[in-house]
């Protein structure tokens, strides 16, 4: 196991955790027990093994090249992001993890629009909602530009005969949308927590 993962983001409990190699019964040896590791016999010497999450105790299948099944989300979503928006963002992450790049872009765009509505936008279209929030000072010009990039790629992903969404596109759009949400939800929450600690 050349690339034994020290830790993963567990696809079940959604926590950063380390894995323990599962023990199992070995049916091709005189030994009653062995680590549950399989050499698939290909030219590359690929090894598969079952890892047990040290937090929730559920198993994942791990390849020595780093592939994990079921696919974990790329990263945890901050708990300070409101639940409906967090659900959209997590769905975008699930799409990315299973290589559904168009789905990732569409859900990242949806998370953006859900946050605009949450922040008081009253217009129907996302482009108008972003302008509304920029005009009333809820978001900065830079945040509006980030959101517009997410909107463009999300729109292309949702409509036929538009640009394809590559893995890199999906990763960038997911990152932009999450950074947008961190600026408007997470950073203010952290500032408020710190002010409260200091009685300000």
d(CA 19, CA 2): 15
**Domains of the chain listed by start with CATH number:** 8-69 (no CATH), 83-197 (1.20.120.330)
Q: Which residue has the higher pLDDT, 28 or 121?
A: 121
What is the average per-residue pLDDT within 176-181?
96
Using pLDDT thresholds of 50, 70 and 90, give the confidence band for residue 24: low
- pTM of the predicted model, to two decimals? 0.72
Using pLDDT thresholds of 50, 70 and 90, give the confidence band for residue 171: very high
pLDDT for 93-151, tens place per residue? 999 988 999 999 999 999 999 999 999 999 999 999 999 999 999 999 999 999 999 99
Whether the per-residue pLDDT at 48 is higher than 90: the answer is no
Q: What percent of the chain has pLDDT over 70?
A: 83
Beta-carbon contacts of 47 under 8 Å, excluding residues fewer than 6 positions away, are 1, 37, 38, 39, 40, 63, 64
Amino acid 17: pLDDT: 82
Residue 161 phi, psi (nearest 5): 60, 25
d(CA 134, CA 129): 9
Whether the per-residue pLDDT at 26 is higher than 90: the answer is no
Q: Which residue has the higher pLDDT, 44 or 134?
A: 134
């Amino acid at each position: 196991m050349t690339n034994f993962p020290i830790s993963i983001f567990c696809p079940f409990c959604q926590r950063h955790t380390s894995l323990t190699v599962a023990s199992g019964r070995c049916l091709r040896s005189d030994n009653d027990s062995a680590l549950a590791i399989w050499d698939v016999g290909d030219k590359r010497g690929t090894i598969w093994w079952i890892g047990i999450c040290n937090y929730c105790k559920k198993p994942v299948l791990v390849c020595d090249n780093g592939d994990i099944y079921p696919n974990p989300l790329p990263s945890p979503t901050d708990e300070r992001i409101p639940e409906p928006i967090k659900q959209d963002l997590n769905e975008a992450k699930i799409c990315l993890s299973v290589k559904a790049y168009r789905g990732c872009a569409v859900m990242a765009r949806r998370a953006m629009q859900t946050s605009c509505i949450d922040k008081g936008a009253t217009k129907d279209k996302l482009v108008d909602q972003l302008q509304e929030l920029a005009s009333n000072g809820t978001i900065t010009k830079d945040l509006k530009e980030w959101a517009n990039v997410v909107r463009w790629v999300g729109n292309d992903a949702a409509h036929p005969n538009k640009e394809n969404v590559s893995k890199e596109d999906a990763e960038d759009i997911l990152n932009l949308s999450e950074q947008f949400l961190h600026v408007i939800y997470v950073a203010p929450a952290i500032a408020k927590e710190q002010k409260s600690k200091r009685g300000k």
